Structure 1
Amino acid sequence: MAEEIRKLNQPAPRGTWVQTERAAHEAWAQLIDDAPRAAQLLHRLVANMDETGGLVASHATLAKLNNVSVATTKRALKVLTENNWVQAIRIGGDRGGCLAYIVNSRVAWASSRENLKLASFSARVIVSSEDQQDLGSAPLRQAPSLGPGDMQLPAGPGMEPPAQGLLDGFEPDLPSIPRGSDRG
């Protein structure tokens, strides 16, 4: 489990730096005094966010990252959202949906400042093994795929093709070679 947490804490391979403003650092220092678990979680969110500041992770996964309970994580997220450190955006409905966390771009960012004006965002998604449901052991159906230059050839058992009787006067007249004849 410790190895899984260590892997989750690795920075995204596409970028290893983030920027912050001095005023945000001063406010962050105060957050450490006022709400240390919220400040700790904010560091994790910034360390794992993508270049647009987005991150999707369950409460359980965030709790695991910080080695705290889910209840502590929820309280920390409440502090961060109420004080505009992060924005929580619901993906899906109230039941069964999840939240994307967007770090305030005036606090930290990992791209050029000009890109912060964009309304769309992607997010890095972190999922722990506890968040996964048992997928079972039955083999999944696979659709064949063709590569460049491959041709599709029908093979294997399958359904009979749809049948239609011949129309009068439109019988096929296919050439044939009688058996035993000289092909020469």
Structure 2
Amino acid sequence: MAEHLERREGERPELPAKPKRGHFVQTDRAAHEAWAKLGTKHPAASALLHVFVANVGESNAVVASHKILSRLMGSSVSTVKRALRVLEDGNWIEVHRIGASGTVNAYVLNSRVAWTEARDKLRYARLKADVLLAEDEQPKPVADDKAALHRLPRVGEVQIPAGDGLPPVSQPSFPGLELALPATDSQSE
């Protein structure tokens, strides 16, 4: 099923539900108080920070376009850009460009502000992120009836071989490095 942002007249779009990891986002008191001050001085930046915190993955990072962020905030792209500058200058987030245009970025939340996982896991935040996409930003429509993608096995998974395969490789031992295999009992049961 295609997952995309739906917009009803006068409403902010809703993202598809994420798998439940827990229902808490943690913040420390000093950061929470600073965030409250940010909300009075730069309301759009505070609202965007809430959007990020609501959508970050396990490692405090999210990837999104300016267009999607503007939809989630219910504001213009120029408001998002101004809010991003405030958040980056205030050390609330780090911004890492993806591609040359700079309209899609990886946003890493300052782990001293808000986090969803144990802090010892956050040092890997730049390796992983949840990516927010919208169907209307794609070059082709998202089809519900597409064939499933091939999945590569993960580390630790055993792939079951199929088909005839290749004959085993046979290589003579190097002189002096012959394998010392244990002897087997010549009587089979």
Alignment partner of 1:111 is 2:111: no
Give how far 1:132 is off. Answer: 1.3
Rg (Cα) greater in structure? 1
Deviation at 1:87, TM superposition (A): 0.5
Aligned-partner Cα distance in 2 for 1:61–1:53: 18
Find out whether 1:75 has 2:82 as its counterpart.
yes
- For residues 48-95 of structure 1, the C-alpha deviation after alignment (integer angstroms, 9 at most, x for no partner) is 001111000100000000111111111111111111111001223x23
CA distance in 2: counterparts of 1:149 and 1:51, whole angstroms = 34
1:5 aligns with 2:5: no
Structure 2 unaligned residues grouped into runs of 5+: 1-5, 152-158, 165-189
Q: TM-score if structure 1 supplies the norm length?
A: 0.68
How far has the Cα of 1:7 moved from its partner?
A: 3.0
1:134: Cα distance to partner? 2.7
Which residue is equivalent to 1:33? 40
Question: What CA distance in whole angstroms lies between the structure 1 residues aligned with 2:93 and 2:150?
Answer: 43
Gap change, CA 1:23 and 1:127, over 3 Å in 2: same
CA shift, 1:18, in A, is: 1.4
Which residue of the partner structure matches residue 129 of structure 2? 123
Identity %: 39
With over 3 angstroms needed to count, the CA separation of the structure-2 counterparts of 1:96 and 1:7, relative to structure 1, is closer
Residue 22 (1) aligns with residue 21 (2): no
Where structure 1 has 5 or more consecutive residues not aligned to the other structure, the ranges are 153-184
Moved over 4 A (4+): 140-145, 147-152
Per the normalisation by structure 2, the TM-score is: 0.66
**One-letter amino acid matched to 1:80:** L
Task: Provide the secondary structure at the position in 1 that maps to 2:106.
Answer: strand
Alignment RMSD (CA, Å):
3.3
